[in-house]
Chain A
Amino acid sequence: MALNRKIAYIDLTTGGIEIKPIPLELRNKFIGGRGLDAYLLYNHTKQGVDPLGPDNVLLISGGLLTATCASATTRTHVMAKSALTNMLGSTNMGGFFAPELAWAGFHHLVIRGKADKPVYLFIHNGEIEIRSAKNIWGKSVTETQWAIREELQDPEVKSLVTGPAGENLVRWANVMTGIKNSGGRTGMGCIMGSKNLKAVAVRGTMDVSIAHPVEALEYNKRFIDQITSSKVNQTMGTIGTPFIWGATNSWGGVRTRNFQFNQCEYSDDLEPERIDEIALETVGDNHMAACFACQVHCRGKHRLPSGPYKGRYSEGPEYTSQGAFGAEPDCKHADTVLTCNYLVNEYGMDTLETGSMISWAMELYEKGILTREQTDGIDLCFGNDEALIEMITRICYRKGWLADTLADGGLPAAEKIGKNAFDYMVQVKGMHNLHSDERGTPALALNIATASRGSDHLRSRPAIDLYHLPEPVLRKIYSSPIPYDGPLSSEQTHYEGKPWQVFWHENCYMAVDMLGICKYHTMFLGATHPNFEDWSRVVQLNTGLDFSPTHIWEAAVRANMIERLFNLREGMTRYDLKKGEMLNHRYFDEPLRRGAPGVVGRKIDKQKFIKMVDEFYEHKGLDERGVPKPETLKKLGLENEPSHLL
């Protein structure tokens, strides 16, 4: 039974391990996964904790529904205080780790302390062992995983690892499993590295019993059919997220040359058709892989077509990599995107942050803020594919002044580089933005400013805002599970109704993050996808718990609020450009130069933006500083936090 899964506390300093059940009361309040992790983070850290120190907690979890008879319960969540932003660190990835952890008897791991030598954890059917990582320290992401299987003599072991980048404390080093399933954002791999924790390996063969197995099976089929019948998912299933490029670059939604342009020109080689072609040529007709129990199979397979790693098997690329290594640095070659994608996956670095940081450096170089001496002679200009590729390796190994500076993250790097380097950085809370250009889309501008982990496209993005859905359709989506009769607009360039949309999506994504289900099964990209009512049913059939759609919504609101409490405790201040919910001035000052007629010339209206944030705060029960009002905390049952119940 999912509810029998345990929580384990591992102290890497003392080697102490404690295993406890998860009280139903906390399941009721925070459900599981990211929601419960947020509670644990707030309760197990003190204000101002050093993210790289032993008192930071590293939380790893699967969701309530992980490994049950539900669709795509593949997601693993990792959380800690981030060394990149010095605020909430949180990341989520697919693959096969979380289900294995559930079959091994666990839903949550709380890791604190620091091992005096490199170690890895091995979790097997209720038992946890701390093992020496001396044979795997220094290895790449994939080499680490294969070596662990070899050492444990078990090909079915699944591992969550950090690569060399995490060992070298690159502030945005990621956590990875498989070839490319990446927990990229906020540098959770760096936290692993700071604890001398190279990997968490798991093998599980314990039953996860299903409350109503016959009905759960039937419902799963229905649910899956709904997922696979959507055109968006069918497209994703043939090429993956690169298909989004075609839709966004054409009208001008793609950041290019850091932030100078909003459309990549003469970039046919970056089009999804070209990526598909390479996959067909190097792998064949069947070039899509899937994460656990998912029928969307959106993970592309290919072999590198050229370059020093030609022929190597790789997966992806995602839309994010097309942006990070294509649009942002204005390097317009698919081969470069694939090579860079491969490198960051092997080194264990967030693809997004890597591309964005280097592109930022390229703009600084262009403006003369960075000199050729500082780049070690590298001609770090936009469009220089070799320079881009070279910088990736340099950053992983902190080779050279610039790479070492960048590896510490954007905010310290800006300070070190000096002049007005910071003004050019496209970030919120010190974390870079996806290559989407939000100057023409207020809803998305609001989402990246107010997302809990920094500039982010996966925590509250109302992506369907771009679909110009008719108002009755919007009304239906956004009035469930709780009523809403405020304004809504089908137009992506408008400001009306967007605060509610962003608030709704924030809770929608938190809900699936608590359940352990993939966001591509939600209203993220598809307007006909399952929703709160469906999750309520899936939870009931698999666990027996009676969580109404409203209960799930409220748990999501509560979990989002405790994330906010953590950030506020760490000094989040609304208008602070480094620790706040404010956008870089470029959104307000630099109008779009390219794109469709309705988009050219647009920028975000600062006053309207501020009003949107005001309205967003109102929906969340916050005051104008973004701090929850006392009655809001009481309503959510958070007035006694931290409560130390678990």
Chain B
Amino acid sequence: MAQMDPGTLVTIVTIIVAGAGIVIGAIAPAIAEGRAVVKALESIARQPDSAGDLRTTLLIAMALLESTAIYVLLVVLILLFANPLLDRFFT
């Protein structure tokens, strides 16, 4: 471990961070979207007339919530496919 090449170390840390990041970044938006869907379903069950309005608003809100997961995905993709740190070691 002490003799490790810095490029290898950066690669290992990158892979670990990518895996952990996508896991955590998927959990939180999933919980948030679940809560939003629960509230919307309760409201539709209480007032079925407002289902159309609620559906549109719910889709937009879920797109906004989901974008946080997409940001995490983007960061992970940059780390895996186009890592700027690795260029210092493997040019």
User: Are A and B bound to each other?
Assistant: no
Interfacial residues, chain B to chain A (CB-CB below 8 A): none
A residues contacting B by CB (< 8 A) are none
